[in-house]
Structure 1
Amino acid sequence: MAKVALYVRVSTHKDQTVENQLIALREWARAAGHTIVAEFADEGISGTKGRDKRPALDAMLQAAVRRQVDMVAVTALDRLGRSLPHLVQLAAELEALRVGLFVRNLAMDTSTPAGRLMFNVMGSLAEFERELIRERTLLGLDRARRQGKRLGRPPVPAETERRIAALLGAKTPINRIARLTRVSMSVIYRVRENMACTA
């Protein structure tokens, strides 16, 4: 049977505890004949946080990389993450390491053909979500253009461009010009290119 790591998470300390999640996962592992080799708990941490802000999640994935576990078990997908693309990315990372994922409330086990099918459906849904977001963004930009709204950064005032040109002419370092004029480096480079073209 598999060497299993349990991962649990709660968002707040106040009225939530990881203990109920651990009890449910321990019972599942015992009934399935698996050996629990580690338990990882992120307490008081939102599921929207990335791996760098969730030490237990990071430690669990490191254990997977070191081949210390064959499977990761969670009570629900939202314990791993809140967004579908993030969840799919995590599941894909585990799959690449040949580590199964068991999700108790879905009875999903990616070490089985049915579980892999469910994972692939999740991946398709994540891709669909990304396409919908992209389509909405493009439609919003198109509507703004039709309404005559100017898109992108506001233009740099001519007076600021003249000051940049004067500072460039005085051989002032670009990073200092950026601080003095409060514009991006790309604006300064554009002014410098224009100066070179008109020289």
Structure 2
Amino acid sequence: MAIRTRSHDDGKTDTSGQHVALIGYARVSTPDQQLSLQHDALQRAGCDRVFDDQASGARTDRPGLAEALAYLRAGDTLVVWKLDRLGRSMSHLIEKIGELAARGIGFRSLTENIDTTTPGGMLIFNIFGSLAQFERDLIRERTQAGLRAARERGSKGGRRPVVTPDKLRKARAHIAAGLTVREAAARLKIGKTALYKALEGATA
């Protein structure tokens, strides 16, 4: 239920006089899944508006989420039923919540009981962020270690060559027998351009 405009009646006024609102976001991945469970939970949580999508979490073009983010104002809180309704991965989730925080907007997940507008909720969010950074650092460290080991063995990281020495030898034999480069490449199931480059490199 996408709401594009916002009236002064939406939300509540906090003790400082700031107008704030709880804005819900619901998402299902396929048409056979129902949004009603999430809608009911978000409404029970006191959400003033609920935006939704029927799309995979891996998609970046989620109109409902885009409208919810545009609708939110500083002091508001974005509420979801579960963490995976917002982010497609831990790093993506951390990024989105960080963007909300930079705008002065809170985040709340009902199932995991996380609320970044509270000290405890912000602590959990920071722990998640640290774990995500640790995972990225660990992957980078392992990648660098693998490349160093490959260099020590005298090889380079990356994809194996398409035209191996054996295929290059066979290609030359086919061409010597009268086949064109295109025909030789097709017979060896390699790309014509790759074979041309391999032949040129061998004669350079």
TM-score category of the 2 structures, normalised to the smaller one: 0.5 to 0.7
Matched-pair contact (CA < 8 Å) for 1:85–1:126: yes
Cα deviation code 1:135-164 (max 9, x no counterpart): 12112222332333233587xxxxxxxxxx
5+ residue gaps in structure 1? Answer: 30-34, 155-181, 184-199
Structure 1 residue 99 and structure 2 residue 105: aligned?
yes
Cα deviation code 1:37-77 (max 9, x no counterpart): x211110x121222xx111111111112xx28711100111
Query: Percentage identity across aligned positions?
Result: 43
Residue 179 of structure 1 aligns with which residue? none
Matched-pair contact (CA < 8 Å) for 1:63–1:69: no
Q: What SS does the aligned partner of 2:45 have? A: helix
Matched-pair contact (CA < 8 Å) for 1:74–1:104: yes
Q: What SS does the aligned partner of 2:59 have? A: coil
Q: What SS does the aligned partner of 2:71 have? A: helix
Size of the aligned set, in residue pairs, is: 144
5+ residue gaps in structure 2? Answer: 1-11, 13-19, 162-192, 195-204
* Structure 1 moving runs of 4+ over 4 Å: none
Cα deviation code 1:78-107 (max 9, x no counterpart): 001121111111101111111111100111
Matching of residues 14-163 of structure 1 within 5 Å? 14=32, 16-29=33-46, 36=48, 38-43=49-54, 45-50=55-60, 53-64=61-72, 67=73, 70-151=76-157
State the TM-score, normalized to the length of structure 1: 0.66
Q: What SS does the aligned partner of 2:111 have? A: helix
When the two chains are superposed, the root-mean-square deviation of aligned CA atoms in Å is 2.2
- Structure of higher CA gyration radius: 2
State the TM-score, normalized to the length of structure 2: 0.64
Structure-1 separation of matches of 2:53 and 2:130: 28
Letter matched to residue 138 of structure 2: L
Structure-2 separation of matches of 1:17 and 1:107: 22
The alpha-carbon deviation at position 8 of structure 1 amounts to 0.7
- C-alpha change, 1:55 and 1:47, in structure 2 (3 Å) is same
Structure-1 separation of matches of 2:139 and 2:155: 21
Matched-pair contact (CA < 8 Å) for 1:71–1:102: yes
Q: What SS does the aligned partner of 1:7 have? A: strand
Letter matched to residue 65 of structure 2: L
Letter matched to residue 41 of structure 1: D
